[in-house]
Amino acid sequence: MVLVPFTDKIDYRTMAEYYSSQLSKSRKRGRNSRQPQGSLWMAILDIVMILISVVAAITILTIFIARFFEPEKLWYFSLAGLISPIAYIVAIASALYWIIRWRWRMFIFVAAFIAIGWPYVSLYYKMDIGKEYGTPRYERGNIKVLSYNIRYFQNDKWTKTTTDSIISLVKRENPDIICFQEFPVKGDEHNKALSALSKYHRTKIHAQFEDGVICFSKYRIIRSDSIRGLCGTAKGVFADLRVGEDTVRLYNLHLQSTSINSEERDYINNRRFLETADSGRVNKFTGMAQRLYENSCIRSHQVDALRHDMDHCPYPVIICGDFNDIPMSYAYRTVASGLEDTFSKKGNGYVHTFNGFFGLLRIDYILVSKQFETLSYDVFPIDASDHYPVMARVLLKNK
């Protein structure tokens, strides 16, 4: 107990200052006497989180820059795009950590890089805002488009034929336009599919080796041809469709493969790299990275040729296909410039279209001109290929 000397006249201001100083000293003694044992560990954790925050921020900036340069110029930047969703999630988690730790400078640092990537979040994740329940109703005249890399009508593990499953999907969904990639040029499954889809108008199969791309349409095909100037193993076809009183150009593309084979996919998906010696692991990943780089460079030339054709097209366009590249890439940016990604408009949550690589890859797209309104978007996670079918419903706006 602290005794205040008695005086005839009490100075309340002096008393307040006295007790305030005593309370301040008591708090300081308390802090000094209660130095937590975990303070060292928190300091270490802060250092680790600083490193994670910096790496995540640099990765986001790298991915953002890579979209504007051909892979030949900044090839290592383009590879960083493969982990775009992970980098963004880590950055958000880091920002939350610095809020909890009341480290505002670090929070502002991380938040600035999150803001750089924020406009592109819709390329990976579409928030479910204003969802309508029940059976949706669409305006008359809408166009239902299905795009699917069917992988020769073979499932992901090459253990069964999936022609019947894919035809069943088509009959159930009844799309107006179908774009298939890796359609076999001959054989029993080829004949069965053409017979089942005989009610559709169709283009020729534009192929290299044993597979190609083909379009089926309920709308009359005025003209179709292969896309000129595609190099490498890319396949592409366009078809001018008569839709009511209008003409719409449909593109169907299969761009250069990543050349990651089944054994290498199994090596990644089943985490067998954890069982491999360091030298073997390095050699494996170096070989895959080299092929990813080489094929990314080839795709950049392929999309330049496609863009040239698109820029001289007088009609509204619908572009379907397996791009073999992610949304944060030069190839996607070149093709999608000035167009709408139907997922970004009407997708729901996080979506991937490739069955593998930990569900990180959305590489199959339906893009449309601004003259279209996107009404719906769906991906069907069925085991009928190493890809999933993508479907969108669009409406050509009144002029």
Question: Is 70 exceeded by the pLDDT of residue 374?
Answer: yes
Q: Of 274 and 254, which is predicted with more confidence? A: 254
Report, as an integer, the average pLDDT of 76-82. Answer: 68
E strand map for the chain: 125-126, 143-149, 177-184, 201-202, 206-208, 211-217, 220-226, 235-243, 246-254, 317-322, 340-341, 349-350, 364-368, 372-379, 390-396
pLDDT of residue 34: 46
**Lookup result for tokens 């893009």:** 367
Mean pLDDT calculated for residue range 233-243: 94
Checking if the pLDDT of 263 tops 80, the result is no
H helix count then E strand count, the chain = 11, 15
> pLDDT-derived band of residue 133, with 50, 70 and 90 as boundaries?
low
The domain made up of 143-396 has a fold known as: Deoxyribonuclease I; Chain A (3.60.10)
Q: What is the DSSP letter of 359?
A: G
Question: In this model, does residue 30 exceed pLDDT 50?
Answer: no
Residue-level pLDDT at 82: 73
**SS3 label, residue 132:** coil
Q: How confident is the model at residue 321 (pLDDT cuts 50, 70, 90)?
A: very high
Pick 308 or 292 by higher pLDDT: 308
| Distance (Å, whole) CA 39 – CA 37 | 6
Percentage of residues in the chain having pLDDT higher than 90: 49
pLDDT band for 20, please (50, 70, 90 cuts). Answer: low
Rounded Cα distance between 279 and 5, Å, is: 81
pLDDT at residue 368 tops 80: yes
pTM summary value: 0.81
**In the chain, what are the domain boundaries?**
41-123, 143-396
Encode pLDDT of 136-185 as tens digits: 777 788 999 999 999 999 987 777 899 999 999 999 999 999 999 999 99
Given a cut of 70, is residue 10 above it in pLDDT?
Answer: no
pLDDT, average across residues 373-385: 94
From residue 391, how far is each of 30, 87, 114, 156, 375 by CA, in Å?
65, 28, 30, 20, 11
